[in-house]
Structure 1
Amino acid sequence: MGDNRKFGQIILPRMVTSKILHHQELCVHRSMSEVSGVVDETLGKRPLDGQETLKYRVFASTWNLGGIVPSDDLNLEDWLDTRANSYDIYVLGFQEIVPLNAINVLGPSKRCVSTKWNSLIGKALNQKKTQDGEDLHHTTTNSSASQQGCFRCIRSKQMVGIFASIWVRSNLRPYIHHLDVSCVGSGIMGYLGNKGSVSVRFMLHETSFCIVCCHLASGGKQGDVLLRNFDAADILARTKFNGGGNKKLPKKILDHDQVLLLGDLNYRISLEETETRLLVKAKNWSTLLENDQLVSEFSTGRLFEGFQEGPVTFSPTYKYQPNSDQYYWCFEAARGEKKRAPAWCDRILWRGKDLKQIQYETCDYKLSDHRPVRAGFFAECKIRGDGESLGGFMP
Structure 2
Amino acid sequence: MEFRATGADEPANDGRYAWAGTKEGHLFEVDTVELCIVSSRLNVHLSPVVGIYRVGRSMVTLEESGKVLIWGTFDSPDAPQLAGTFKSQRVPDKQNFYAIVGNELWTSSGPVTKPGSSAVSMRSPQIRVYDPTTTGSFSVLPRPMTTPESVGHVGAVTASAIVPSQDHLVYLGHDNGFVSVWDRKTYACLFVQRVSPYMITSLVGVGKNLWAGFRTGLIYVYDVRSEPWTVTKAWKAHKETVLKIVVDPASLWTDETLQVASMGSDMAIHLWDGLLRDDWLDAELNLRQPDFCTFRSIRTLCISWNIDASKPQDLSGTPQNLDFLRDVMLSTESPDIISFGFQEMIDLEDKKLTAKSMLLGKKKGDSKFSDGISSSYRLWHDKLVQAVRLVMPPECPYTVVHVGDMIGLFSCIFVKSSESATLRDVAKITVKTGMGGRHGNKGAILARFVIDDTSLCFINCHLAAGQSHRRQRDHDLVDILEDKSAFSGLGSSSPGAYAPGGDGTTVFDHELCILSGDLNYRIDARRDNVIAASMDGTFETLLPYDQLLKGLATNQTFRLRSFKEPVITFAPTYKYDPGTDSYDSSAKKRIPAWCDRILYRPSDELANSLIPPSGADREDKITPLPQQYRRWEVNVSDHRPISSSFDMQVKSIGAAKRALVWEEIESAWFGVESAMIAEARDYYGGG
CA distance in 2 between counterparts of 1:203 and 1:360 reads 25
The reply on whether 1:94 has 2:339 as its aligned counterpart is: no
Please tell me whether the aligned partners of residues 303 and 643 of structure 2 are also in contact (alpha carbons under 8 angstroms).
Answer: yes
The reply on whether 1:20 has 2:265 as its aligned counterpart is: no
Please tell me whether the aligned partners of residues 76 and 124 of structure 1 are also in contact (alpha carbons under 8 angstroms).
Answer: no
Give the aligned length: 328
Q: What's the secondary structure of 1:302's corresponding residue? A: coil
What residue in structure 1 maps to residue 492 of structure 2? 246
- Provide, for residues 197-222 of structure 1, a one-character-per-residue CA deviation record: whole Å limited to 9, x for no partner: 1000110110000111100000013x
What residue in structure 1 maps to residue 573 of structure 2? 317
Mapping of residues 29-48 of structure 1, within 5 Å = none
2:412 counterpart letter in structure 1: S
Mapping of residues 111-122 of structure 1, within 5 Å = 111-122=374-385
1:62 counterpart letter in structure 2: S
Summarize the Cα distance change of 1:122–1:76 in structure 2 as closer, same or farther, 3 Å threshold.
farther
What residue in structure 1 maps to residue 299 of structure 2? 57
What residue in structure 2 maps to residue 357 of structure 1? 624
CA distance in 2 between counterparts of 1:50 and 1:226 reads 44
- Provide, for residues 6-43 of structure 1, a one-character-per-residue CA deviation record: whole Å limited to 9, x for no partner: xxxxxxxxxxx9993189979999xxxxxxxxxxxxxx
Q: CA deviation at 1:244?
A: 4.6
Stretches of structure 1 lacking an aligned partner (at least 5 in a row): 1-16, 30-48, 130-136, 139-145, 388-395
Mapping of residues 170-181 of structure 1, within 5 Å = 170-181=417-428
CA distance in 2 between counterparts of 1:376 and 1:169 reads 16
Stretches of structure 2 lacking an aligned partner (at least 5 in a row): 1-175, 178-195, 201-213, 215-219, 223-227, 231-290, 316-321, 349-353, 362-368, 496-502, 604-619, 657-687
CA distance in 2 between counterparts of 1:252 and 1:199 reads 11
**Aligned counterpart in structure 2 of residue 270 of structure 1, from 524, 532, 549:** 524
- Provide, for residues 195-249 of structure 1, a one-character-per-residue CA deviation record: whole Å limited to 9, x for no partner: 111000110110000111100000013xx11111111111111211012583753
**Aligned counterpart in structure 2 of residue 78 of structure 1, from 313, 326, 342:** 326
CA distance in 2 between counterparts of 1:22 and 1:199 reads 26
CA distance in 1 between counterparts of 2:345 and 2:229 reads 31
CA distance in 1 between counterparts of 2:229 and 2:571 reads 26
Deviates more, 1:337-346 or 1:242-251: 242-251
Summarize the Cα distance change of 1:128–1:290 in structure 2 as closer, same or farther, 3 Å threshold.
closer
The reply on whether 1:288 has 2:542 as its aligned counterpart is: yes
1:318 counterpart letter in structure 2: Y
Please tell me whether the aligned partners of residues 490 and 505 of structure 2 are also in contact (alpha carbons under 8 angstroms).
Answer: no
2:594 counterpart letter in structure 1: W
The reply on whether 1:192 has 2:369 as its aligned counterpart is: no
Q: Percent identity?
A: 31
Deviates more, 1:267-276 or 1:196-205: 267-276
- Provide, for residues 266-291 of structure 1, a one-character-per-residue CA deviation record: whole Å limited to 9, x for no partner: 00011133433433343321221110
CA distance in 1 between counterparts of 2:528 and 2:441 reads 31
CA distance in 2 between counterparts of 1:151 and 1:126 reads 8
1:234 counterpart letter in structure 2: D
CA distance in 2 between counterparts of 1:125 and 1:312 reads 27
What residue in structure 2 maps to residue 203 of structure 1? 450
Deviates more, 1:166-175 or 1:378-387: 378-387
Q: What's the secondary structure of 2:326's corresponding residue? A: helix
CA distance in 1 between counterparts of 2:526 and 2:536 reads 16
Please tell me whether the aligned partners of residues 293 and 653 of structure 2 are also in contact (alpha carbons under 8 angstroms).
Answer: no
The reply on whether 1:302 has 2:567 as its aligned counterpart is: no
Q: What's the secondary structure of 1:127's corresponding residue? A: helix
1:349 counterpart letter in structure 2: L
Q: What's the secondary structure of 2:296's corresponding residue? A: strand
Q: What's the secondary structure of 1:98's corresponding residue? A: coil
Please tell me whether the aligned partners of residues 354 and 379 of structure 1 are also in contact (alpha carbons under 8 angstroms).
Answer: yes
**Aligned counterpart in structure 2 of residue 373 of structure 1, from 627, 634, 642:** 642
Summarize the Cα distance change of 1:83–1:295 in structure 2 as closer, same or farther, 3 Å threshold.
closer
2:640 counterpart letter in structure 1: R
CA distance in 1 between counterparts of 2:534 and 2:645 reads 27
Q: CA deviation at 1:381?
A: 0.8
Please tell me whether the aligned partners of residues 76 and 120 of structure 1 are also in contact (alpha carbons under 8 angstroms).
Answer: no
CA distance in 1 between counterparts of 2:199 and 2:431 reads 14
1:125 counterpart letter in structure 2: V
Larger Rg: 2
Mapping of residues 340-351 of structure 1, within 5 Å = 340-351=590-601
The reply on whether 1:162 has 2:409 as its aligned counterpart is: yes
Which one scores higher on RCO, CA 8 angstroms, separation ≥ 6? Answer: 1
Q: What's the secondary structure of 1:217's corresponding residue? A: coil
Deviates more, 1:78-87 or 1:308-317: 78-87
What residue in structure 1 maps to residue 168 of structure 2? none
What residue in structure 2 maps to residue 68 of structure 1? 310
CA distance in 2 between counterparts of 1:83 and 1:192 reads 36
Higher strand share: 2
